[in-house]
Structure 1
Amino acid sequence: MSMIAASARIHPTSLVEDGAVIGENVSIGPFCHIGSQVVLGDNVELVSHAVVTGRTEIGRGCRIFPMAVIGGVSQSLHEAGEESSLTIGENCTMREGVTMNTGTVGGGGKTVVGSNGLFLANCHVAHDCQLGDGIIMSNNVMLAGHVHVGDRAILGGGCAVHQFTRIGRQAFIGGLSAVNYDVIPYGMLNGNPGVLGGLNVVGMTRAGVERATIHSVRRAYKDIFEAEGNVRAKAADVRETYVDCPEALEIIDFITAESDRAISSPFRRKA
């Protein structure tokens, strides 16, 4: 039996399957379908013609627009109907045609989306992706499986991200870019194949990062990417130089961490 708060408003043309949990002040517009394992937090709004299915939990204040399908099974070739889930934080907006899939057993079984995200029309978040808070994905952005995206990253329209790729915090990905390799925190990447074009200084400034800190991060960037040698080795070598700059250390730790992908560089090759 469904658990539906008395204050929820459900249009008579919509279907809520037995077992669903519907919070206070939820608004479900015409022709929506809510699956039996779905949990909708307080103040969630489904405008119309939206599908929320699978073992999916959506945090308070989220808005889902027409033709979005949230919580569908993964499109992995290894999908075999195993138990998996999708969790979305608070105050996210999923515009028209957005699709977000549940996880797979091979990837941990969970797709996780943070809070305060904006996902514009026809974005796709594949199985086992892990997304932070405050992310903006413009129209037609495509994330393959197992992608990690850090807080406040911005992905321009039509860009495609290879499976198992990491995109660091406050990175900026230009429209129509092909993201084949990991993108450092605060990095700016453009093109096909994607090329690292420096630092997202505008984003850092808007986030309140001090000018002196930005200069330190720029020096670290030059030390790592403009000198001869292996990028991961160079990042490890300069770590002690930047122990007083958390932002630079964040980039260094990102580069030296284990990853399935190489690091995007300012050249048309992996680093």
Structure 2
Amino acid sequence: MNANIHPMAIIHEGAQVHPSVTVGPYSIIGPNVSIGAGTRIGPHCVIEGYTTIGVDNHIFQFASLGAQPQDKKYAGEHTQLVIGDRNTIREFCTFNTGTSQDSGVTRVGNDNWIMAYVHVAHDCVVGDQTILANNATLAGHVHVGDWVILGGLTGVHQFVKIGAHAMAGFASRVSQDVPPFMLIEGNPLAVRGFNIEGLRRRGFTPERLKAVKQMHRLLYRQGLSLEAAQQAIAALVPEMPEARQDIALMQSFLDSSTRGIAR
């Protein structure tokens, strides 16, 4: 018996668990699970389904990872949950596998801080460096970009996309796409500004902050149609070359939005 595996844990034959993985008492690891080096799993966790977990994650007690999707159309297809590296997953989190109606994979990236009772439903894609506070809930097919922060009790409607560096305040009801960098809050949802403090902490230069501020103005403060705002945002590139990638990020997001953006 591996000294890192508590004798009261159940590791099914076929599970691929690195010798350095720690598993607490009464946790159950299913036969189709793969867990990378240095990952710590607390007591009373259930990790099942076709689930792949990377290195150096910390999964706290009572988490349920890899259960079948909460979708009535699911008929036992081979779908997956893939979790990256260095994530913190707190108590009572529930992450489900994907469905055949989408890519078949629910995916969580790297270096995420995921607090208690967070639900990540089928076919969600969560990027890197996000913070999902207590009871944040992602319905099916939601995409969350890098560096996003979701306040506690925030609910995100199925198929919504939240752009990189956006931030949602406590108990927000998110039913439309949220462009990158924006600061949102409330029920009904409103865009309150842009995430200037978060961007400063991530090293955005004054010129990049100026570009984000101008994109916010064009989308939300000048009474422009969305089409006119998109044209004006595209025209910022020659004026603000240092922010070229930030502008391209906004353009790509707006072009790909299918639910319409929060305005």
TM range, normalised to the smaller chain?
Answer: over 0.9
Please point out which of 82, 90, 104 is paired with 2:85: 90
Quote how far apart the aligned CAs of 1:237 are: 4.1
Quote how far apart the aligned CAs of 1:219 are: 1.5
Provide the alpha-carbon RMSD of the alignment: 1.4
Moved over 4 A (4+): none
1:36-91 CA-to-partner distances (Å, cap 9, x unmatched) read 00001001111100010000000111111111100111001211111100100001
Quote how far apart the aligned CAs of 1:7 are: 5.7
The question of 1:194 aligning with 2:183 is answered no
The question of 1:254 aligning with 2:253 is answered yes
User: Between Structure 1 and Structure 2, how many residues are aligned?
Assistant: 259
Instruction: Indicate the residue corresponding to 1:154 in structure 2.
Output: 149
1:49–1:67 Cα contact (<8 Å) kept:
yes
Q: How does 1:189-228 map to 2 (within 5 A)?
A: 189-228=184-223
Cα distance change, pair 78–233 in 1 and its aligned pair in 2 (3 A): farther
Query: 1:222 and 1:192 mapped to 2: Cα distance?
Result: 22
* TM-score scaled by length of structure 2: 0.94
Aligned letter for 1:192?
N
SS at match of 2:256: coil
Query: 1:78 and 1:233 mapped to 2: Cα distance?
Result: 40
Instruction: Indicate the residue corresponding to 2:44 in structure 1.
Output: 49
Query: 1:204 and 1:237 mapped to 2: Cα distance?
Result: 22
Percent identity among equivalent residues?
36
* TM-score scaled by length of structure 1: 0.92
Instruction: Indicate the residue corresponding to 1:263 in structure 2.
Output: 261
Query: 1:164 and 1:71 mapped to 2: Cα distance?
Result: 20
2:141–2:159 Cα contact (<8 Å) kept:
yes
Query: 1:217 and 1:118 mapped to 2: Cα distance?
Result: 25
Q: Any gaps of 5 or more consecutive residues in structure 2? A: none
Q: Any gaps of 5 or more consecutive residues in structure 1? A: 1-5, 266-271
